[in-house]
Amino acid sequence: MNMNFLDFEQPIAELEAKIEELRFVGDDSEVNISEEITRLQDKSRALTKQIFSNLTAWQVAQLARHPHRPYSLDYIQRIFTDFQELHGDRAYRDDPAIVCGLARLDGRSVAVIAHQKGRDTKEKLKRNFGMPKPEGYRKALRVMKLAERFSLPIITLIDTPGAYPGIGAEERGQSEAIARNLFEMSNLRTPLVCTVIGEGGSGGALAIGVGDRMMMMQYAIYSVISPEGCASILWKSAEKAADAAHAMGITSTRLHSLGLIDEVIDEPLGGAHRDPEAMAESLKAMLTASLDQVEHMPLDELLAARYEKLMSFGNFKE
Partner 1 sequence: MNWFQKLIPSRIQTDGSGKKQQVPEGLWLKCPVCNAMLYRAELERNLDVCPKCSHHMRIRARARLDQFLDPDSGSEIAGDIQPVDTLKFKDSKKYRDRLVQAQKATGESDALIVYEGRLKGSPLVAAAFEFEFMGGSMGAVVGERFVRGARVCLERRIPLVCFSASGGARMQEALFSLMQMAKTSAALKRMSDEGIPFISVLTDPTMGGVSASFAMLGDVIIAEPKALIGFAGPRVIEQTVRQTLPEGFQRAEFLLEHGAVDMIVDRRDLRDTVAGLLAMLANQPAPAA
Q: Give the binding site for partner 1 (CB under 8 A).
A: 163-167, 169-176, 178-180, 182-187, 202-203, 206-207, 210, 222-225, 229-230, 233-236, 243-244, 247-250, 255, 258, 260, 307, 310-311, 313-318
In the complex, least distance from residue 57 CB atom to partner 1, rounded to whole angstroms? 11
d(CA 14, CA 70): 24
Q: How many Cα atoms are found within 13 Å in the side-chain-facing hemisphere of 46?
A: 6
The CA distance from 298 to 9, in Å, is: 47
Residue of 229, 137, 227, 226 lying closest to 175 (CA atoms): 137
Residues 14, 309: Cα–Cα separation, whole Å: 47
Please, which residue, 45 or 145, has the CB nearer to partner 1?
145
Select 285 or 310, whichever has its Cβ closest to partner 1.
Answer: 310
Task: Rank residues 80 and 137 by Cβ distance to partner 1 and give the closer one.
Answer: 137
Q: Of 97 and 102, which CB lies nearer to partner 1 in the complex structure? A: 97
User: HEC profile for 229-298?
Assistant: HHHHHHHCCHHHHHHHHHHHCCEHHHHHHCCCCCEEECCCCCCHHHCHHHHHHHHHHHHHHHHHHHHCCC
**Min separation Cβ 210 and partner 1, Å:** 5
The 3-state DSSP class for residue 55 equals coil
Question: At closest approach, how far in Å is the CB of 97 from partner 1?
Answer: 14
Query: Cα(220)–Cα(83) distance, rounded to whole angstroms?
Result: 25
Using the minimum distance from each CB to partner 1, give the nearer residue, 155 or 214: 214
278/129 Cα distance (integer angstroms): 25
Smallest distance from the beta carbon of 212 to partner 1, in angstroms? 13
Nearer to partner 1 (CB atom), residue 103 or residue 194: 194
Compare residues 114 and 244 and give the one whose CB is closer to partner 1: 244
Q: What is the smallest separation between the CB atom of 208 and partner 1, expressed in angstroms?
A: 12
Least distance to partner 1, CB of residue 61, Å:
13
Torsion over CA of 24, 29, 34 and 37, rounded to 10 degrees? -40
Residue 133 C-beta: closest distance to partner 1, Å:
11
* Burial of residue 210, with CB atoms counted within 10 A of its CB: 0-12 exposed, 13-18 middle, 19 or more buried: buried
